[in-house]
Amino acid sequence: MRFQKICIGVVGAIIVAMPAGAAEIKIISAESPRTALEHIAAQFQKDTGDKVSFEFMTAGQVRDRVLRGDKVDLAIASGGFIRELEKAGKTSEIDNLGKIGVAMAVHEGAPSPDISTPEKFIAAVKAAKSVSFTDPAAGGTAGQYFAGLFEKLGIGDEIKKKAVLSTGGRNAAEKVASGAAEMGFTFPSEIAPIKGAKIAGMLPAELQNYVVYIAAIPVGGNVDAARKFIAAAVAPSSRQHWTAAGFEPPAGK
């Protein structure tokens, strides 16, 4: 009897401690916004009592998960993939989170090549023994861009011979940090968190590719909870997390 009373008391304490009406928000996202999102979610959970769970993957995989009908409350990916979902009728509403350019990563102790012009960029890439970027087939936004860029610059075949393909942007930076690749290409937000790798520089303006990331609420998701998280993500108080990660938030947000 005494044990039963203790158990009832513990359960009661847990129930009292749980915020009334707390929601669980399941989010799938591309890797690029990861650092900003994790900081925002930490504060959001403190402020609301809601629980946020993330799965990070390539933007193409985010699209595929929503297309096949996976139960998620919020999907975050680059604009092109989200527009595909919108056209397919798979989202109820969307919101712009911000844009980010692409950069070169090198080992923390290595000199940073000069890539300030297209000519210098090409020379630096050709001089490298190995180059890492996301496997385009995996659906990574930056990986697909760089594969196309190297072809456009006339060095596609040369890069293929020394490419060290990765599973995502952070993995590309990890390969640079480990020495598996001499340089890598992805978003600065995916390079900065990786110990042993550093941002060597942003691509020159002529080659730069700014990518807009969008939050979409999939059909069947918890709309109210998703809206609440989006509101926190675009609030003025969250702007610092986006800019610290290399993003430019939308004007007026």
**pLDDT of res. 16:** 37
Composition of the chain by helix, strand, coil, percent to 5 = 45, 25, 30
**Mind listing the domains of the chain with CATH numbers?**
2-99+212-244 (3.40.190.10), 103-202 (3.40.190.10)
Predicted confidence (pLDDT) per residue in 199-228, tens digit: 999 999 999 999 999 999 999 999 999 999
Residue 40 corresponds to which tokens in the numbers above?
């925002």
Helix (H, G, I), strand (E, B) or coil at 94: strand
What are the tens digits of pLDDT across the range 144-175?
999 999 999 999 999 999 999 999 999 999 99
CB count, 10 Å around CB of 54? 15
Amino acid letter for position 251: A
- At a CB cut-off of 8 Å and minimum separation 6, what does 2 contact? none
pLDDT in tens, 54-102: 999 999 999 999 999 999 999 999 999 999 999 999 999 999 999 999 9
Q: DSSP alpha helices (H): ranges in 97-217? A: 118-127, 141-152, 156-162, 169-178, 188-191
pTM of the model: 0.87
Checking if the pLDDT of 17 tops 50, the result is no
Answer whether 131's CB lies under 8 Å from 185's CB. Answer: yes
